[in-house]
């Protein structure tokens, strides 16, 4: 899909992602920030579609935008933050932070020089190409079955940990 | 098929924005959200390499990154809730008890 339409779509998605990320980290109202992060995640899902990771795009929309972000929004509404919004948004050292962000992006940009990238193997695809979903699912449940189970264990530990941390202490 | 270079550039820029937000914001919840932005930037680069190298493993690693991000959100927000109960407010500048 090296077409003009693909390129245009990618550059639109990239520009919208960067803009919504900048808005997300600079808005004063945390709820507005969350909504900009939602925009960012949906555009990143579009980027995943363009690079041929359909399953990852679906998981991005369902899990990130659907579950994690809604969890953050619920949490924001659980706390009463009206006083916090009046204060300054950034610490006094924010120029250093922006410099650190720029520095990291510049370093990573330098490291993406074409000479440093591994060349694609260009393997001859024998037989009918599998769909993305079926190939990812097959790999997930055969080659990566053990890491998959460990991920479920991590999620269980996180659930129990969150309940223990957030539980109100009852004084006897 | 999008070439891998622009994807990596997008990933680097998003990671830089997330890094600046994590270091600069005072609201601890927005610091956690900046961590989510950084994890998402890494997922973009994993997916781009997965396509570039014609290998599914990048996408599988990205799936595990999403699972760990969910766990991080749950534990992090539980911590913020416990913190908020002891001393109201979510500004990191109030949390100086361990400073000497």
**DSSP per-residue codes, chain A:** --SHHHHHHHHHHHHHHHHHHHHHHH-SSHHHHHHHHHHHHHHHHHHHHHTT-HHHHHHIIIIIIIIIHHHHHHHHHHS--TTGGGS-SB-TTHHHHHHHHHHHHHHHHHHT-GGGSPPP------SSPPPHHHHHHHHHHTTTHHHHHHHHHHHHHHHHHHHHHHSPPPP-
**Residue of B8, B33, B67 with shortest CB distance to A37:** B33
- Of A134-138, A155-159, B19-23, B38-42, the poorest mean pLDDT is in A134-138
**Residue of B44, B71, B80 with shortest CB distance to A158:** B71
d(CA A134, CA A144): 14
ipTM of the complex: 0.89
d(CA A109, CA A89): 29
Interchain CB distance below 8 Å, A96 and B23: yes
Q: What is the distance in angstroms between the Cα of A71 and the nearest Cα belonging to chain B? A: 8
Interchain CB distance below 8 Å, A105 and B12: yes
d(CA A90, CA A2): 42
pLDDT tens for B46-68 read 988 888 887 788 889 999 999 99
pLDDT tens for B6-16 read 888 889 899 99
**Residue of A33, A100, A157 with shortest CB distance to B33:** A33
Interchain CB distance below 8 Å, A47 and B57: no
pLDDT band at B17 (very low <50, low <70, confident <90, very high): very high
- Of A27-36, A85-94, A102-111, the poorest mean pLDDT is in A85-94
Test mutation, B56, B57, B65, B87, chain A, max A CBs within 10 A: B56
Interchain CB distance below 8 Å, A151 and B68: yes
Interchain CB distance below 8 Å, B20 and A100: yes
Those residues with Cβ within 8 angstroms of residue A132's Cβ, 6 or more apart along the chain or in another chain: A52, A53, A54, A55, B59
**pLDDT value for A126:** 46
Test mutation, A12, A19, A77, A101, chain B, max B CBs within 10 A: A101
pTM of the model: 0.87
**Residue of A26, A68, A136 with shortest CB distance to B59:** A136
Residue B64: what are its φ and ψ, rounded to 5°? -65, -35
Q: DSSP assignment, residue B88?
A: -
Q: Which residues of A touch B74 (CB under 8 A)?
A: 71, 158-159, 161-162
- Of A107-116, B46-55, B69-78, B84-93, the poorest mean pLDDT is in A107-116
d(CA A72, CA A79): 11
Q: DSSP assignment, residue B39?
A: H
Check if B94 contacts A (Cβ < 8 Å). Answer: no
**pLDDT value for A123:** 54
Give one word for A76, left, alpha or beta, with left for phi > 0 and alpha for psi -120 to 50: alpha
pLDDT band at A127 (very low <50, low <70, confident <90, very high): very low
């Amino acid at each position: 899909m090296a077409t003009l339409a693909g390129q245009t779509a990618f550059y639109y998605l990239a520009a919208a992602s960067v803009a919504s990320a900048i808005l997300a980290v600079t808005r004063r109202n945390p709820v507005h920030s969350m909504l900009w992060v939602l925009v960012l995640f949906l555009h990143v899902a579009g980027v995943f579609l363009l690079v041929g990771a359909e399953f990852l795009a679906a998981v991005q929309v369902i899990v990130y935008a659907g579950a994690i972000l809604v969890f953050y929004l619920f949490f924001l509404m659980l706390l009463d933050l009206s006083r916090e919004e009046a204060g300054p948004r950034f610490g006094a050292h924010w120029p250093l932070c922006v410099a650190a962000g720029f520095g990291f992006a510049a370093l990573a940009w330098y490291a993406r020089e074409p000479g440093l990238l591994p060349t694609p193997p260009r393997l001859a695809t024998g037989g009918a190409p599998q769909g993305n979903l079926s190939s990812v699912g097959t790999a997930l449940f055969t080659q990566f079955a053990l890491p998959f189970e460990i991920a479920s264990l991590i999620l269980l530990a996180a659930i129990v940990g969150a309940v223990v941390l957030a539980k109100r202490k009852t004084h006897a | 098929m999008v070439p891998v270079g622009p994807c990596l550039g997008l990933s680097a820029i998003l990671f830089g924005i997330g890094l600046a937000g994590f270091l600069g914001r005072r609201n601890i919840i927005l610091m956690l959200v900046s961590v989510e932005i950084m994890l998402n930037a890494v997922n973009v680069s994993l997916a781009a390499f997965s396509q570039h190298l014609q290998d599914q493993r990048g996408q599988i690693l990205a799936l595990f990154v999403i699972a760990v991000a969910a766990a991080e959100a749950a534990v992090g927000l539980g911590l913020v809730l416990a913190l908020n109960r002891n001393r109201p407010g979510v500004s990191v500048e109030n949390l100086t008890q361990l400073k000497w």
